[in-house]
Each structure stands twice: as structure tokens, then as C-alpha cells.
Copies of this chain bind each other. A is one copy, B any other.
């Protein structure tokens, strides 16, 4: 699992971005100022740092400089200022890429992927095997381990599947699945689960009628059983 250190002085932004990144399978550590950012980089060894330049204690560019004195960890900079100066200074100091606010989460994710790839961060994607299929919940792809065959999953199918595979071996209660995927008003609609689990089995299980990885626990919920 890839660890990202998020550095921003606004708690709301930290919160929103954390939720998004965790949903994509990243492990997220947050810091609200430069001091903590430097400390956490040392203790948590993040694979990637996403850094807002406007920090309360230390100037963002200075943070980059201090990091670069001892670690080559990739750094993606965020900044609200549109002037190019920041960008130049940040890149000079050793940042790897730069995103200007306001930005879409997809843009940030794309930059993060690009930077980690360039740095050869162990492409240890949070990929999961279901039979002969390789499921990458971060990239949202399913492809056959041998051939180049791929499977397409819909948004709802991904949501449901992610809920299951991120808790390998654990029972996930029907209630949890329904509230998370369809919303709290759907807690009683268990037939949605049957419907969509059935679809996932048809797309991913070798023998959909005898599932080996997407298991039913009658009356309780479902369980993703990883390969032994």
C-alpha cells in the first residue's frame, strides 16, 4: 500500500483529500504545518508527499529544501497562487510536479501516479487477485493475469467490490455495504446486494454458481476470501 503524506494548513481540505485518497486505496498521513511534515516524513517514510506551499510556520519552499537534503521522496506541490514564481522556486528546490488550485481530484491523482511511476515507487499497487483476474482498486482496472483481456465494472460494482476487497477475509455486514454504497435509506434493500454481488461473480469468478472469493454469509453479509 502506498503511503501519502498530505500537508495543508486547512483541516477541511486535509479531510476531504484524505477521504478521496483513502477511497482509492492509499494510506494517508496528514500534517498541518511544516514542522510536523518534516517529522512525519522521517517517521512514516511516505512514498509520496503532497505539499501545500502556504504553511503557518515554515515556508513551503523551505520545507522542500530541507526534505531534499536527505530524501529523494517524490513531492507534488499545491498552490493557490497563480504566479509562476512559486512554481519555479518549488521545482528548483526539488519538487517533482506542481498542481494549481483549484484542481480536480482526478488531476491530482493523475499527477501522483505519474510522479510515483517516474520514481519507480514499488508499483506495489493495492492489487488483489480473484481467480485469474487482477483487480486494481486504485486504477479501477481488472485484467487477466495471463492474457490482456480486461473486464469493465460499473461505478456501483466498483464501490461494492472495493468495500469487500479492502477487508480481505473479513465479514462485511449487509448494513455496512448498503449504507456505504447506496446510502442510509437503503439499509433494507438487501436484494440490491444479491443483484450486484451476482454481477460481480459473473464477471470475476471462474464458476459464478460456486463462488470461491465472493462469499455469502446468510443473514449477515458478504466476505472477500483471498487466494490461499
Contact = CB atoms under 8 A, between A and B. Distances in A.
Interface of A: 11-12, 14-15, 18-19, 22-23, 27-28, 30, 32, 68-72, 94, 106-107, 110-111, 113-114, 118-120, 138-141, 148, 154-155, 158, 167, 169-171, 173, 175-176, 179-180, 184, 187, 217-220, 223, 228
B139 A171 contact: yes
Contacts of A27: 120
Nearest to A98: B184
A68 B12 contact: yes
- Copies per assembly: 2
A122 to B, nearest CB: 10
15 contacts: A11-B69, A12-B94, A18-B119, A22-B119, A22-B120, A30-B72, A107-B175, A107-B184, A110-B173, A110-B175, A111-B179, A114-B176, A139-B171, A141-B170, A148-B228
A15 B218 contact: no
B170 A138 contact: yes
A15 B113 CA distance: 17
- Interface class of chain A by DSSP: mixed
Nearest to A217: B140
Nearest to A166: B117
Contacts of A167: 139
Nearest to A72: B15
A59 to B, nearest CB: 19
Given A119-B22, A220-B140, A70 B173 contact: no
Contact of A71 (B11, B111, B158, B187): B11
Contacts of A141: 169-171
